[in-house]
């Protein structure tokens, strides 16, 4: 009992201070000794300045399935939009206009072969629009093939050749030519088949009349009707328009925009497109009598 009591007695203050000071001394010398020993070890581990350093591993390695970063949309895009009319030989009594509008199926096939051999990729107007609005990239040499007026030979000649070469076409149809069963034009069955095969069916108005200086009611009748009919027959809502004979005014553009048309093409010559001029995108006319060399030269000038 007595020993226990003595152990429990508080040590004198001076003894406690000595003990603390002793502990601090031991601790400091241990730290200094450790630091002195560690110094050569650290020096040995550091590579000399001229030694190649191992690559620093990335804390967030890229996943192969990672979504691409969003792109900034470009201000403009250089994309040739070719304009075709008839894809058939002109009749023997054809006038100059008709001859100029007619590309024979043989010449058309040679043009497709040229495009394929020279690295062109046919794209859709939707691709051009997405490129300008979201920056979605286009293939290296993009080109858009458009066919006006909904002629029967588009189904008989253009459509099979486009399929043969795995290419895409945009067909601007005038719906009343079809509604009234004009034998020179497509039927709704043909239109449906072409749309199902991936071709774009877009509007070329209801009657192909001059749309300038018209009333609002007339423009709605000419513009909205074809959108509804094409949607009903193909299941795809058209977003692009082709001005009949290339004629338009501000009122036409206003009505097109009010029914959420994304773009419209003219018959004017050009190939630089922007979002600001989406309602007046220009095209390159493929002249019927043009040789393959002239066709190639027209496209080569754009690439320069
Ligand atoms: Zn036309």
- The Cα 223–Cα 229 span in angstroms is 11
How far away, in angstroms, is 136 Cα from ligand 1 center? 31
Residue 148's pLDDT is 98
Decide: 85 and 102 in contact? Cβ < 8 Å.
Answer: yes
Q: Which of 135, 127, 198 is nearest to 163 (CA)?
A: 198
Residue 30's pLDDT is 42
The per-residue pLDDT for range 100-112, each reduced to its tens digit, is 999 999 999 999 9
How far away, in angstroms, is 164 Cα from ligand 1 center? 26
How far away, in angstroms, is 204 Cα from ligand 1 center? 7
- The Cα 120–Cα 143 span in angstroms is 7
**pLDDT band with cut points at 50, 70 and 90 for residue 15:** very low
Q: Which of 136, 84, 80, 76 is nearest to 108 (CA)?
A: 84
How far away, in angstroms, is 148 Cα from ligand 1 center? 5
Q: Is 136 helix (H, G, I), strand (E, B) or coil?
A: coil
Signed CA dihedral, 247, 284, 101, 194: sign only: negative
**pLDDT band with cut points at 50, 70 and 90 for residue 304:** confident
The residue count for the chain: 304
Q: Is 109 helix (H, G, I), strand (E, B) or coil?
A: helix
Domain 77-303 has CATH 3.20.20.370: yes
What is the separation, in whole angstroms, between the first and last Cα of the chain? 108
- The Cα 251–Cα 135 span in angstroms is 30
**pLDDT band with cut points at 50, 70 and 90 for residue 302:** confident
How far away, in angstroms, is 286 Cα from ligand 1 center? 14
How far away, in angstroms, is 71 Cα from ligand 1 center? 36
The per-residue pLDDT for range 149-158, each reduced to its tens digit, is 999 999 999 9
Residue 127's pLDDT is 98
Decide: 172 and 202 in contact? Cβ < 8 Å.
Answer: yes
Residue 151's pLDDT is 98
Residue 68's pLDDT is 58
- The Cα 187–Cα 183 span in angstroms is 8
More confident residue, 17 or 124: 124
The per-residue pLDDT for range 229-273, each reduced to its tens digit, is 999 999 999 999 999 999 999 999 999 999 999 999 999 999 999
Residue 262's pLDDT is 98
How far away, in angstroms, is 218 Cα from ligand 1 center? 18
Decide: 111 and 295 in contact? Cβ < 8 Å.
Answer: yes
How far away, in angstroms, is 243 Cα from ligand 1 center? 7
How far away, in angstroms, is 141 Cα from ligand 1 center? 27
Decide: 82 and 283 in contact? Cβ < 8 Å.
Answer: yes
Q: Is 83 helix (H, G, I), strand (E, B) or coil?
A: strand
- The Cα 219–Cα 213 span in angstroms is 10
How far away, in angstroms, is 244 Cα from ligand 1 center? 5
The per-residue pLDDT for range 41-98, each reduced to its tens digit, is 333 344 444 444 444 444 444 445 555 555 789 999 999 999 999 999 999 999 999 9
How far away, in angstroms, is 184 Cα from ligand 1 center? 14
How far away, in angstroms, is 245 Cα from ligand 1 center? 5
Residue 156's pLDDT is 98
How far away, in angstroms, is 160 Cα from ligand 1 center? 22
Q: Are strands 77-78 and 281-285 parallel, antiparallel or unpaired?
A: unpaired
How far away, in angstroms, is 208 Cα from ligand 1 center? 6
How far away, in angstroms, is 83 Cα from ligand 1 center? 10
Q: What is the mean pLDDT of the chain?
A: 85
Residue 208's pLDDT is 98
Q: Does 34 score more than 50 pLDDT?
A: no
**pLDDT band with cut points at 50, 70 and 90 for residue 303:** confident
How far away, in angstroms, is 297 Cα from ligand 1 center? 26
The per-residue pLDDT for range 171-220, each reduced to its tens digit, is 999 999 999 999 999 999 999 999 999 999 999 999 999 999 999 999 99
Please identify which residue in the block is written with the tokens 């000071």. Answer: 21
More confident residue, 40 or 247: 247
Which residues have a Cβ under 8 Å from the Cβ of 159 and sit 6 or more positions away? 169, 194, 197, 199
The per-residue pLDDT for range 126-169, each reduced to its tens digit, is 999 999 999 999 999 999 999 999 999 999 999 999 999 999 99
């Amino acid at each position: 009992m007595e020993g226990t009591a003595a152990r429990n007695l508080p040590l004198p203050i001076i003894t406690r201070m000595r003990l603390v000071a002793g502990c601090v001394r031991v601790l400091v010398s241990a730290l200094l000794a450790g630091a002195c020993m560690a110094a050569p070890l650290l020096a040995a581990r550091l590579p000399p300045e001229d030694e190649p350093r191992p690559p620093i591993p990335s804390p967030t390695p890229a996943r192969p399935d990672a979504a691409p970063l969003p792109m900034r949309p470009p201000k403009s895009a250089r994309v040739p939009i070719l304009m075709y009319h008839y894809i058939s030989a002109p009749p023997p009594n054809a006038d100059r206009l008709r001859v100029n509008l007619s590309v024979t199926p043989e010449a058309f096939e040679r043009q497709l072969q040229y495009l394929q051999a020279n690295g062109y990729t046919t794209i859709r107007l939707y691709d051009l629009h997405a490129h300008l609005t979201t920056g979605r990239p286009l293939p290296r040499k993009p080109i858009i093939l458009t066919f006006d007026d909904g002629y029967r030979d588009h189904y008989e000649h253009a459509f099979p050749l486009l399929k043969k070469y795995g290419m895409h076409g945009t067909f601007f149809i005038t719906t009343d030519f079809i509604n009234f069963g004009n034998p020179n034009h497509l039927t709704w069955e043909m239109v449906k088949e072409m749309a199902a095969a991936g071709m774009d069916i877009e509007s070329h108005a209801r009657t192909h009349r001059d749309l300038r200086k018209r009333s609002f009611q007339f423009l709605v009748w000419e513009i909205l009707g074809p959108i509804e009919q094409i949607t009903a027959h193909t299941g795809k809502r058209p977003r692009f328009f082709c001005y009949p004979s290339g004629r338009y005014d501000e009122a036409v553009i206003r009505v097109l925009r009010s029914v959420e048309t994304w773009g419209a093409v003219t018959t004017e010559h050009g190939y630089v497109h922007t979002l600001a001029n989406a309602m007046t995108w220009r095209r390159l006319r493929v002249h019927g009598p043009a040789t393959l060399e002239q066709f190639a030269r027209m496209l080569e000038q754009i690439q320069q």
